[in-house]
Structure 1
Amino acid sequence: MSGVVLQRLTTLTLSVKHLGPIPNLLQRLPSSFPTPSPTVSASQVPALFREPYILTGYRPHHQNWYCYLLSLFQKHNESLNVWSHLLAAPLLLLRWWSLFGALGNPYDISVLPLCLFIVSALFCYACSSAAHLFQSHSEQAHYYVFFMDYVGVAVYQYGCALGHYFYTSAPGWRASIFGRYFLPGTAFLGLMSSVGCCVAKARYRKPYPKQRKICQLIPTILAYFLGISPVVHRLLTTSWEEEPSMNMHVLQILFFLCCSVFFSYPIPEYFFPGKCDIVGHGHQIFHILLSLTTLCQLEALFQEYARNRANVVDIFGESQIWWACVSFPVLTIACLLVAFHSMKYTHNKLNRD
């Protein structure tokens, strides 16, 4: 599965390199219809929009909103950031459809956590794609769309936690302190992840101090370690030969660890300034690895669901499954309130400046 995905993403990367004729197609639109302006260098955009070691491919700000929508078909330094998640979403849905088609009629209460995992991933992809597509419009838009991006990340973290808890966790782990407080703990840390990222984005300006990374990374790292704990426990206590899903869990952990490296450090553009502007910079690689992480999670969780679905309700009870599912929109609303408050704070701050 991961080989097929890698092949498709490689094809996407090669296609982006040949996007040269696309701006010409945009120029053939009717003259009354707004078209994106040519990209500019880093020195021609405000510091807020510049990324380290990315020297070209920036879209001018204060264009018509339609220009940024149409820049989906323009060659710029955010193109692959947008397309990597736009294409991953239908891949995820197609795989979901093919897997469930093989089960006949799998739709009962035991499948709800798995459905929420899919919803959380698609929501995260949508927020991320929108953020990278529209963030160049203005300073205010830049902040707003990335606040929503952080909501998507927090919701995705909790969606993963639900899947791991109901399909992967073992009885011994559920009896531990981690198991007893897992769902409220992951919900709280997901909310704190959203708060930390929004505060760091709203409060600090470039050049960013170390406090910004601390606000972003500490709650996010804690949320990940707690959310992945049932998987790690299973990896350490069960036979991988007897449970093929463990191999996919190993892959999802490896892909995510690679994600964290490319998210935290400007690799490879640090070593090749200006050479990775359109294709190949670290955030693009991070997006592709995150897509692979999600696909591996889906494979693993589906295998465990298909094997244990008859026992899920007996083990957890209908009430716990329903309460866990109700907590999902509650967390989403709480994170949205954090984002809206951050938008209001940023709006007032920009007006004062």
Structure 2
Amino acid sequence: MSTDTPSIPEPLRILVAPDSFKGTATATQAAEYLAEGALSEDPGAEITLAPMADGGEGTADTFPGQRITLPTTDAAGRLTEATYVFDREAKTAYIDVAAASGLPAVADKPVPLTGDTYGTGVLIADAETRGAKRLVLCLGGSATVDGGTGILVALGAEPLNAAGFSLPKGGAALIDLDNIDTAQLNIRAAALEYILLTDVISPATGELGAAWVYGPQKGANPEEVKLLDAALTRLCEVTGVNPETPGTGAAGALPVGLLWLSTLLHGSSEHIHLLPGAPLIARIRGLEELIPASDLVITGEGALDEQSFQGKVVGTLAKLAENTPATLAVAAGKINTELPRGIIGAELIETQDVAEQLREAGARLVRDYRRMSTVQG
């Protein structure tokens, strides 16, 4: 008679690390709903939550600190309120460009030619007055193509034409840029340590640049795209910023203005850092260690397409999961691209209840993982 006791199967180890589902669920909410769905399918699973972001809308909320809300302006110059995160102990402010200068606020009437980032500059200046020494600017989701010149104006740097007159606001006016007057510059705010988190790798100009790729999403027609690209080219000529640098096309080429400003004040670019957002957030979240220790990694975003694998959360997690035991699973409102081999996908069901959508997707991804694991032995 055998005395061997049956082995108890190890619990399924699930890491839940989605991006936000813009307009419907924050990354934290999405993680909670997906985890609830996973647990409904496998109550014994060990769940770890790690809400993610890629430098786009919602990135600031993934950092700890006080939420600061103040009056500012949107991309169209209308009065609004915006919130950023301030970690007083670390003397670091986290600001989403989308908070003040984002697309949703001007969706009724896009402003690709005249929209500017002045409202974001107001938040930057406010953060400095509260004691910030470092500023993490999250660049995704902007409604502007102004090369960051709205921020420069908010900090006291004035773009001028050849006659010495101030340029109208917005990216199109930069076609007439001659120089930038810094006589009234807010030096304390301008001299902060800047970390610019990008969710794209686009250059500032050209066919893959800010105007050509993202201008149409911000309401620009083909002629306006040509004008904006020429205007950004002129900005790069005046500032001396290399327009081919990957990431300078983020947020309507916003990094161009700040790269020029920081280099002007410090004599080098040592105090400004242009970084892909998703890998940095993943490192902060400890995903480099958590993913290899997981059986299933569930992520998600609003719409999955080819760009999702180029600097976004899904692509970052897919790369980290390579050559590990973990299987990557993606929940998305729509899946508009063929998934790489070994990645499980689930489109959200048709309902107005986002919590129900994500719970159902979480449960379905666990079922699909179990089925795939059984087939593979």
State the TM-score bracket (shorter-chain normalisation): under 0.3
Q: Computing the radius of gyration over CA atoms, which structure comes out larger, 1 or 2?
A: 2
Greater relative contact order structure (CA < 8 Å, 6+ sep): 1
Between Structure 1 and Structure 2, the one with more helix by share is 1
Q: TM-score, normalised by structure 2?
A: 0.26
Between Structure 1 and Structure 2, the one with more strand by share is 2
Q: TM-score, normalised by structure 1?
A: 0.27
